[in-house]
A and B are shown apart, each in its own frame.
Chain A
Amino acid sequence: MEALSNLAAGFGVILTPQNLYFCFLGSLIGTLVGVLPGLGPLAAMALLLPVTFTLTPVAGMVMLASIFYGAMYGGSTTSVLLNIPGEAASVVTCIDGHQMARQGRAGAALGIAAIGSFLAGTVGIIVMTFCAPAISAIAIRFGPPENFGLMVLGLVCTLYMITGSPLKGALMIALGFLGAAIGIDVVNGKERFTFGSINLTGGLDLLAVVIGLFGVTEVLANVERLVHGSLLTGRIRNLWPTLDDWRASWRPIVRGSGLGFILGLVPGGGPVTASFMSYALEKRLSDTPQRFGKGAIEGVAGPESANNAAVAGSMIPILSLGIPGNPVTALLLGALIIQGIQPGPLFMTQRPDLFWAIVASMYVGNLFLLVLNLPLVGLWAQLLRVPYHILFPVVLLLCVVGTYSANKNVFDLWVMLGFGVAGYVLRKLEYDLAPFVIAFVLAPLMEQSLRQALVMSPDGAMILLQRPITAVLLAVSAVLVALMFRRQSTHRGGDL
Chain B
Amino acid sequence: MTRTALVLGLLAALCHPAAAQSGDAKAELARLKPKDFPSQPIEFTVVYPAGGGMDVAARLLAKHVEQASGDRIIVNNRTGGAGMVGHAYLATQAKPDGYTVGVLANLMWGDAMLRAQGRWAYTDLEPIAYVNTDALTWVGPTEGPYKGMSLKQIVQAAKDKPGTIRVATVPGSMWDYIIEQIEANSGAKFLRVPFQGGGAGIAALVGGNVDLAQGFYSEFRGYLDANKVAPLAVAATSRMDFLKDMPTFNETLGGNEYTWQVIRFAVVPKGTPADRKAYLAASVRAAMHDPELVAEYKKTGAFFDPKLANSSDLAKDLGDYAEAERAFYQKTGRLK
Contacts and interface: CB of A to CB of B under 8 A. Distances in A.
B222 A49 contact: no
Given A47-B1, A342-B222, A345-B223, A199 B208 contact: no
Contacts of A409: 78-80, 85, 89
Given A46-B77, A142-B207, 11 more contacts: A32-B1, A187-B171, A202-B81, A323-B200, A327-B49, A330-B49, A334-B50, A344-B221, A452-B195, A456-B209, A456-B210
Interface residues of B, number: 66
Question: What 4 pairs between A and B have smallest CB-CB spacing?
Answer: A344-B222, A189-B172, A334-B51, A201-B81
A331 B51 CA distance: 4
14 contacts: A29-B4, A140-B206, A188-B171, A189-B171, A198-B88, A199-B85, A340-B299, A344-B226, A345-B228, A346-B226, A452-B193, A452-B194, A455-B191, A456-B209
B199 A323 contact: yes
Contacts of B75: 50
Interface stretch (B53-61, B129-137, B254-262, B277-285): B53-61
Nearest to A39: B1
B166 interface: yes
A198 B166 CA distance: 32
Contact of A455 (B81, B119, B192): B192
Interface in B178-193: 191-193
Contacts of B76: 408
Contacts of B226: 344-346
Interface string B246-283: 00000000000000000000000000000000000000
B84 A198 contact: yes
A333 interface: yes
B18 interface: no
Contacts of A184: 81-82, 172
Contact of B222 (A327, A346, A448): A346
A190 B1 CA distance: 40
Nearest to A322: B222
A407 interface: yes
Given A51-B5, A143-B204, A456 B82 contact: no
A53 B63 contact: yes
Contacts of A452: 193-195
Interface stretch (B8-16, B147-155, B314-322): B8-16
Nearest to A187: B194
Interface string B213-228: 0000010011101101
A332 B75 CA distance: 17
A340 B218 CA distance: 11
A203 to B, nearest CB: 8
Given A143-B204, A408-B78, A50 B9 contact: yes
A475 interface: no
B51 A330 contact: yes
A25 interface: yes
Given A198-B85, A202-B82, A330-B51, A51 B209 contact: no
Given A408-B77, A452-B194, A330 B1 contact: no
Contacts of A25: 4
Nearest to B11: A54
A78 to B, nearest CB: 16
A44 interface: yes
B174 to A, nearest CB: 12
A409 B210 CA distance: 36
A316 to B, nearest CB: 13
Given A187-B194, A337-B218, A407 B85 contact: yes
Nearest to A336: B51
Interface of B: 1-2, 4-5, 8-9, 11-12, 15-16, 49-52, 55-56, 59-60, 62-63, 75-82, 84-85, 88-89, 115, 117, 119, 164, 166, 171-173, 176, 191-196, 199-200, 203-204, 206-210, 218, 221-223, 225-226, 228, 296, 299-300
B166 A333 contact: no
A186 interface: yes
A48 interface: yes
Interface in A30-71: 32-33, 44-51, 53-54
A interface secondary structure, majority: helix
B207 A340 contact: no
A9 to B, nearest CB: 22
A185 interface: yes
A411 B81 CA distance: 12
Contacts of A45: 50
Interface string A259-272: 00000000100000
Most A Cβ at <10 Å: residue of B59, B76, B193, B300: B193
Nearest to B224: A344
A395 interface: no
A338 B166 CA distance: 32
Nearest to A267: B200
A327 B171 CA distance: 20
B45 to A, nearest CB: 9
B207 A141 contact: yes
A186 B59 contact: no
Contacts of B15: 54
Contacts of A46: 50, 77
B222 A343 contact: yes
A185 B171 contact: yes
B1 A202 contact: no
Contacts of A33: 1
Contacts of A202: 79-82, 84-85
Given A143-B209, A334-B50, A451 B194 contact: yes
A411 B80 CA distance: 10
A196 interface: yes
A330 B200 CA distance: 12
Contact of A407 (B8, B59, B78, B82): B78
A205 B85 CA distance: 13
Contact of A448 (B55, B89, B117, B196): B196
A201 B55 contact: no
A184 B193 CA distance: 16
B193 A456 contact: yes
A200 B84 CA distance: 10
Nearest to B192: A455
A184 B172 CA distance: 10
B221 A342 contact: yes
Given A54-B16, A321-B203, A452-B195, A346 B225 contact: yes
Nearest to A189: B172
Interface string A330-360: 1111110110101111110010000000000
A123 B8 CA distance: 33
A49 B59 contact: yes
Nearest to B92: A198
B291 to A, nearest CB: 15
A420 interface: no
Nearest to A48: B5
A469 B120 CA distance: 48
A337 B297 CA distance: 10
A334 B223 contact: no
B214 to A, nearest CB: 15
A342 B218 contact: yes
A144 interface: yes
A408 B76 CA distance: 8
B56 A337 contact: yes
